[in-house]
Structure formats: structure tokens, C-alpha cells
């Protein structure tokens, strides 16, 4: 009798687990358009029926060149090469949309530096003036700034403070006062990026929102409703996926995840990250696809979504031809950077 009760309890828990991780099962949209990546056809031709759809992570970027990640230059290069594009969207202080990955500006941004008027002139301009750099950043360490066009050091400039966030600035301030790394590239608006892609390649749009405030979703949706091209949306935040489930069910939506306890156990801990890692919050958004760190292709919940529920799976971020070939059996769509798949 006890064995029957225990078996029943474990069976019920297992069924509940499957219910929680289950992706959308009814009225699934067609994924065919996401496979129509020009570069894949160019690279593989007709040799492979199941040639991998290839999406350039944050554009076809290289942070050591004039085409840093999520820059207009990187997006132009991806379009010209025919790769699909994965990009990140978040909201500014004045409710505008920009394409930028990090929550803070520290890693990718530098205060704009104008070359001195002459070799003997040590003056330097940080944007229009210094008032848009938060007071908390003025005590940061300084480093020499290299003018790529002139090829010499023109001034010292502050490294952006770790607490300076995208949402602390208006769109005008971000574009006028900062540049991406040591280039002349600005943080682009979402509207600018959509205009340059112009439907030539499919898009994976990641919505960056770590709070419960979903005001970014209708703004993104309003822009995309005017866009004449193929796209899908994804997010680490299941509330974003849920918003699309409720308000735009016809749009392909995806849940991003990772093996958080293995990647950064000191940062990602607690019940929330346990639930996110094991896809237990799929119950909120019922995603069409799961985008997971390729290193954990055999994660239990991902395996159930792929094998039992036949959900579309997306690998991020592939960084070599070897990783691409290794994961061909486990994922259908591939987000890549740091190498050219055709090389």
C-alpha cells in the first residue's frame, strides 16, 4: 500500500513538472520563415537538407574593429553577408527603444571624445558638456583614449561607472554623449536598426527587462507591427513571454535560459533561478521555442521540451565551427559570434 502511495505521489509530481515546462502545444505558428536565412543557402547550397539557420549574435560584430556588437556597422555587415540577426532591445529614461545588451554602460561605452583642435591643445569635449555624465561616475578611474582615425592618444576619459544604466539616460543623451568602445558608432535606436535590416534577413529580438514592469513590450510591439520583415521575440524574463502570449499570440515567442547554477553560482542562486534554469516558468508564457546555452544541450528540461513536446530549440552562443557541428543534432537554429561559419 505504501509503495502505491509513494508511486502515485511521484507520478503526480512528475506530471506537474511536465505541465510546468510544456511549451505551446496548440495553434503553433509556422517556423518556416525563421529557416529562410540567405547565408545558410549560400554556405550549404543544396548539399544539406537540414542546413543550420545561422543568426549573427548582436550583428556580425567584432569588438576589436569598427563594427562592435549591437552597432549599425555590425548590422549592416550581417545584412550584406545574409546572416539572420539576434539583437537586444531595452528602454531608455524617456521611454524610447535602443539596441544594447548590457544593463550598464561600463563594458561597451565610452564618453565621446573629440580630438583636440591642435597638437598643443589639451582640451577635450565629453559630448555637449559633462552634465549628462552622472555625478557618481566622475570619480572613476581614467584611461587613455585612442583616436582610431588619427591613430594617437588624444585625451584621458572616464571609464563609465558600473552603476550607469541605459535607463538612466534619454535616447538623445545616449547617442550624443557616448560611443561604442573606441569607435565612432553610437548606440542605435531600435527604429534605426529595423530600417537598415528592412526585412532582408530574419530577426531574433531579445527583450531585456529584469523587472515586473512590462511597459517595454507594447513599445517593441508597436515598432514591429510597422516592420515588414520576419522576426520572433525572446526573453529571459518569462513575464515578457507571457505578455506576448496574452497580447500577440500569433507572434513566435521564445524562452531564454541557461544552467545558471553552473555558470555563475555565486550570482544566480535561489528559487527564481532554479525555476528559470529548469524551465518551470514556461507555464506562464508557453513559449514556441527554447533558446538555451549550447553547452547544456542535454539538460533534462530542455531534453523533454525537445524530445517529448517537439519544441523548436535555439543554441546560443556558438563560437566555433566545431561547436556548430557538435550541436547540429540537438538544436535547429544557431546564434553565433567570434567566427565565420563559412570560413
Q: What is the pLDDT of residues 187-246, one digit of tens each?
A: 999 999 999 999 999 999 999 999 999 999 999 999 999 999 999 999 999 999 999 999
- The CA distance from 286 to 135, in Å, is 43
What is the chain's percent helix, strand, coil content, to nearest 5? 35, 20, 45
pTM: 0.86
pLDDT of amino acid 78: 98
Q: DSSP code of 199?
A: T
**148: confidence class by pLDDT, cuts 50, 70, 90:** very low
**143: confidence class by pLDDT, cuts 50, 70, 90:** very low
Asked if 188 and 70 touch (Cβ cutoff 8 Å), the reply is yes
Asked if 331 and 314 touch (Cβ cutoff 8 Å), the reply is yes
- The CA distance from 289 to 92, in Å, is 28
Q: How far is CA 9 from CA 3, 14, 16, in A?
A: 10, 9, 11
pLDDT of amino acid 202: 98
β 178-180/54-57 pair status: unpaired
Torsion of Cα atoms, 281 then 283 then 288 then 292, to 10°: 20
pLDDT of amino acid 111: 86
Specify the 3-state DSSP secondary structure of 135.
Answer: helix
pLDDT of amino acid 122: 44
Specify the 3-state DSSP secondary structure of 246.
Answer: helix
The mean of the pLDDT values for the chain is 87
- The pLDDT tens digits for 31-43 are 999 999 999 999 9
According to DSSP, the residues that pair with 235 across neighbouring strands are: 255
**23-103+185-336 carries CATH number 3.20.20.190:** yes
pLDDT of amino acid 160: 53
- Check residues 143 and 258 and name the one with the higher pLDDT: 258
Torsion of Cα atoms, 294 then 297 then 303 then 307, to 10°: 80
- The CA distance from 74 to 92, in Å, is 22
Asked if 38 and 84 touch (Cβ cutoff 8 Å), the reply is no
According to DSSP, the residues that pair with 189 across neighbouring strands are: 98
Looking at the predicted structure, is the pLDDT value of residue 54 above 80?
yes
For the segment 314-324, the average pLDDT, to the nearest whole number, is 97
pLDDT of amino acid 267: 86
Q: Comparing C-alpha atoms, which of 81, 48, 5, 28 is closest to residue 286?
A: 28
Sign of CA dihedral 177, 180, 185, 190: negative
- The pLDDT tens digits for 82-137 are 999 999 999 999 999 999 999 899 999 998 766 555 444 443 333 333 333 333 33
pLDDT of amino acid 38: 95
Domain edges within the chain: 23-103+185-336, 109-164
**1: confidence class by pLDDT, cuts 50, 70, 90:** confident
Angle, in degrees to the nearest 10, between helices 300-307 and 2-21: 70
- Check residues 173 and 124 and name the one with the higher pLDDT: 173
Looking at the predicted structure, is the pLDDT value of residue 170 above 60?
yes
**φ, ψ of residue 248 in degrees (nearest 5):** -140, 65
- The CA distance from 215 to 95, in Å, is 9
Task: Round the CA-based radius of gyration of the chain to a whole number and report it.
Answer: 22
Amino acid at each position: 500500500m505504501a509503495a502505491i502511495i509513494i508511486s502515485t505521489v511521484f507520478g503526480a509530481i512528475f506530471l506537474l513538472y511536465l505541465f510546468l515546462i510544456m511549451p505551446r502545444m496548440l495553434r503553433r505558428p509556422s517556423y518556416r520563415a525563421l529557416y529562410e536565412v540567405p547565408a545558410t543557402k549560400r554556405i550549404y547550397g543544396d548539399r544539406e537538407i537540414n542546413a543550420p539557420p545561422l543568426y549573427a549574435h548582436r550583428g556580425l560584430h567584432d569588438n576589436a574593429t569598427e563594427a562592435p556588437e549591437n552597432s549599425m556597422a555590425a548590422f549592416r555587415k550581417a545584412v550584406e553577408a545574409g546572416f539572420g540577426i539576434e539583437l537586444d532591445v531595452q528602454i531608455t529614461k524617456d521611454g524610447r527603444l535602443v539596441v544594447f545588451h548590457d544593463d550598464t554602460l561600463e563594458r561597451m561605452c565610452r564618453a565621446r571624445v573629440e580630438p583636440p583642435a591642435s597638437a598643443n591643445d589639451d582640451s577635450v569635449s565629453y559630448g555637449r558638456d559633462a552634465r549628462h555624465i552622472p555625478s557618481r561616475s566622475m570619480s572613476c578611474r581614467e584611461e587613455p583614449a585612442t583616436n582610431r582615425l588619427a591613430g594617437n592618444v588624444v585625451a584621458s576619459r572616464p571609464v563609465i561607472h558600473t552603476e550607469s544604466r541605459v535607463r538612466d539616460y534619454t535616447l538623445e543623451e545616449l547617442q550624443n554623449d557616448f560611443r561604442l568602445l573606441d569607435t565612432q558608432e553610437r548606440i542605435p535606436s531600435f527604429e534605426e536598426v529595423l530600417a537598415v535590416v528592412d526585412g532582408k534577413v530574419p530577426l531574433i529580438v531579445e527583450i531585456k527587462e529584469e523587472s515586473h514592469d512590462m511597459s517595454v513590450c507594447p513599445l517593441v510591439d508597436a515598432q514591429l507591427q510597422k516592420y515588414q520583415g520576419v522576426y520572433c521575440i525572446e526573453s529571459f524574463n518569462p513575464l515578457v513571454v507571457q505578455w506576448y502570449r496574452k497580447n500577440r499570440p500569433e507572434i513566435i515567442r521564445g524562452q531564454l535560459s541557461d544552467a545558471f547554477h553552473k555558470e555563475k553560482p555565486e550570482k544566480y542562486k535561489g528559487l527564481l533561478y532554479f525555476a528559470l534554469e529548469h524551465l518551470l516558468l514556461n507555464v506562464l508564457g508557453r513559449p514556441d521555442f527554447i533558446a538555451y546555452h549550447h553547452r547544456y544541450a542535454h539538460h533534462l528540461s530542455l531534453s523533454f521540451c525537445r524530445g517529448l513536446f517537439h519544441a523548436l530549440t535555439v543554441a546560443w552562443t556558438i563560437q566555433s565551427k566545431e561547436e556548430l557541428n557538435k550541436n547540429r543534432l540537438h538544436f535547429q537554429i544557431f546564434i553565433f559570434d567570434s567566427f565565420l561559419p563559412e570560413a
